[in-house]
Structure 1
Amino acid sequence: MKLPLPAQPRHIAVLRLSALGDVCNLVPTVRALQRQWPDARITWIIGKAEHSLLAGLSGVEFVVYDKASGLAGMRRLWSELSATRFDVLLHMQQALRASVLSFGLKAKVRVGYDKSRAKDAQHWFTHRQLEPHPRAHVLESFLDFARLLGVEDLSLEWNLPVPAEAFEEADTLTGDAPYLLMSPCANPRLRNFRNWSAEGYAAVVEHAWVQYGLETVLTGGGSTVEREMGERIVALSRPEAMIDAIGATSLKGLLALIARARVVIAPDSGPVHMGNAMGTPVIGLFATTNPDRAAPYRWRDYVVNRYPDAVRAYLHRELDEINWGQRVRHADAMTLIRIEDVIGKFDALMTRPNECKEEERPDEA
């Protein structure tokens, strides 16, 4: 027998720890819940870095779990929430760690993914599962939780808070000049293989400068891979066309830079979804992951998509022969993206009739 879902939940738990792009894609679901039940409390259990990006999100109480703290951190979180009983827990993280964490939370009903989308036996930890939604985009999969609860208005809204000091941080790097924001590297995880070439990025930098007078701001974390990529791009580019801000910003500062950029160019990584959330035009570079599942949602028409070619070249199969969302884990896959592909999308964005942003200016927290 299925446990009933609350018709009028008073306290909703959202469990999604990571990653930066995914938590950006989840915000419209939170906004939909808030519109449906404006008086309900929403507690979001979130990762440490992800909280630093979304801190100040209106109407949301955050409880932070640092993955590095392991089981000891879980116990502290369980103790912190020991007196809290949620009407519904939305288990939106497909990972065994998150399922174990969920086990120590008190909720009348736990909602998770359907069997076809669940990973690490997540359905064993939930009472109710989503309706099947084959070939769903990540953002749509999150909205499916609101659909199951009976939410009617699923329009997309982010309204991410960016504090004044974050814009001041951005201004110290860019001043008032318009710019292209380029985040060349994805998260440097083992066998990620999402990064394009320094030569390709440098060619786009040159094109943006010569054709549009746009400087390029390079952003990213402080890892060795990201710093070395930035150094190669800088070495291949004219100095007046570049601002190297790799490792030089906070996450809120990066969000401010993205908010004021003319265009964002990046592989499948947090910045493409941050740009999507801020209403900034985005060119996503995809070959190892499926953009139909993970592209910046409102800018899917501007994705450079070499994923089908990578599937054929390195998996030796067609799209309809592989699992939805399967990754192409081959170091050469991103070389299928051509410079003219990226410049073509960039020109299309720069010359489109409506150059205004998709959303109002972000809140200043």
Structure 2
Amino acid sequence: MANHSPNASDPDAAVLERIALLRLSAIGDVCHTVPVLRALQDQFPDSRITWVIGRLEASLVGDIEGVEFISFDKRAGWAGYRALRSAIGKTSFDALLHMQIALRASVASRLIPARRRIGFDRARARDYQWLFTNEAIPATPRQHVMEGLLSFAAHLGADIRQPRWDIPVPAADEAFARQHIPDDRPALLISPCASQRAHNFRDWRAERYAAVIDHAARIHGLQTILTGGPTAREKAMAEAIMGHCQHKPVNRVGQTSLKQLFALIRRSRAVLCPDSGPAHMGTAAGTPVIGLYASSNPDRTGPYYSRQWCVNHYPRALKEETGKTVDEVRWGTRVRNPQVMERITVDEVTEKLDGLMQSS
């Protein structure tokens, strides 16, 4: 379908009684989408907004007031699509913001009737997303992921200059976090593992995390809380880290909901993690993030307000791996070397932690 831009002189272009957002995953990208939602709520307070979202991701943001959330189970196969069609029913939308570049999401988008079907510009609309839309956001090369998503709200005329999140935290989850991080004991939260994908090397060594934990306790009086998912890999990482520590952290790996994790992050002095969802949960919570980046570019996927605290070996690693600079490769190119995170040293991380603690 041909792309077109809304005509500001057309009065029908401003009629947005019902708006649908399609962003299923992942946790970090859903965190980036919340400011899109907030901008739309502020700009169009009378519009009814529906967000089609992944089931796990809905557990983090699905209690935002004034929004209809429809969970889509990507693991359910065709049953997931049938459930989505049933949930949408006969509802038709004035605008659909199709913010996920994945064929599975594009197929789901066909079950959401909308007059304006807005997707990425042709350069970014991979997996044939452009076939499922009739309108595109402006082409803006080399944006941070969150800026790209905010472009959808700006395309509808919303003010995006001051992103806000305001993700609710229920009282029970706040009490859980306060129990683990009392007011008189500041904490460093470490989420050591990134999601496991093929040829995606983002994890750091257990003994190096342990050295940072001991430094944080000895120099700054910080207790450390380890968090992560319930997989055997993440639990083994936590046990390995604890085995190398003199100052033992609190191990909550596999033992928190997303809301509990968000509450813990919100009460922490800092988050330490590789390129992963908790980095962006930190941004959403207003907690500074020390990001570990070597295989991916923090200017694209780093914690939005904490990029000064990132340890960034990506440009040098990319140059040595490909012979090219950041400006010479496709935006989003990763370094696919299993040893790439070895470049990050303990001293670099503790230096970032020291600077962050001194600045706060």
Of 89, 96, 104, which residue of structure 1 is paired with 2:103?
96
| Corresponding residue for residue 257 of structure 2 | 250
Partner of residue 111 from structure 1, selected from 112, 118, 123: 118
Q: 2:226 aligns with which of 218, 225, 232?
A: 218
Verify the 8 A CA contact 2:19 2:47 in the aligned structure 1: yes
Quote how far apart the aligned CAs of 1:341 are: 1.2
Alignment of 1:253-272 (within 5 A): 253-272=260-279
**Correspondence 1:233 to 2:241:** yes
Q: Is residue 190 from structure 1 mapped to residue 201 from structure 2 by the alignment?
A: no
- For 2:10, the equivalent position in structure 1 comes to none
Is 1:327 paired with 2:326? no
- Matched ranges for 1:132-171 at <5 A: 132-171=139-178
| Aligned with residue 209 of structure 1, among 204, 217, 221 | 217
Aligned-pair CA distance for 1:347: 0.6
Alignment coverage as a number of residue pairs: 352
- The CA deviation at 1:44 is 0.3
Q: Which residue of 2 aligns with 1:359?
A: none
Structure 1 runs not aligned, ≥5 long? 356-365
Among all aligned residue pairs of Structure 1 and Structure 2, give the percentage whose two residues are the same amino acid.
49
1:9 alignment partner, one of 11, 16, 33 = 16
1:116-173 C-alpha deviation (Å, 9 max, x unpaired) = 1111010110000111101000110011111211223531110010111112222343
**Contact 2:187 2:222 (8 Å CA) reproduced:** yes
* 15-24 vs 168-177, which moves further: 168-177
Cα deviation for residue 4 of structure 1 reads 4.1
Q: 1:75, CA displacement in angstroms? A: 1.3
Alpha-carbon distance in structure 1 between the residues aligned to 2:5 and 2:282: 39
SS of structure 2 residue aligned to 1:258:
helix
The CA distance in 1 between the partners of 2:192 and 2:269, in whole Å, is 16
Match of residue 42, structure 1, among 28, 31, 49: 49
Question: Does residue 343 in structure 1 map to residue 350 in structure 2?
Answer: yes
Q: 1:79 aligns with which of 80, 86, 100?
A: 86
One-letter code aligned to 1:294: T
Distance 1:45 1:316 in 2: 41
| C-alpha deviation, 1:191, in angstroms | 2.1
Q: Indicate conservation of the 8 Å contact 1:284/1:302, yes or no.
A: yes
The SS at the match of 1:108 is strand
Counterpart of 2:186 in structure 1 is: 178
Per-residue CA distance 1:285-337 (angstroms, 9 max, x = gap): 11111111011101111111111121022223221221011111221111111
Instruction: Compute the displacement of 1:115 (Å).
Output: 1.1
RMSD (CA atoms)? 1.4
Q: Equivalents in 1 of 2:49, 2:167: separation in Å?
A: 16
Q: Aligned letter for 2:296?
A: T
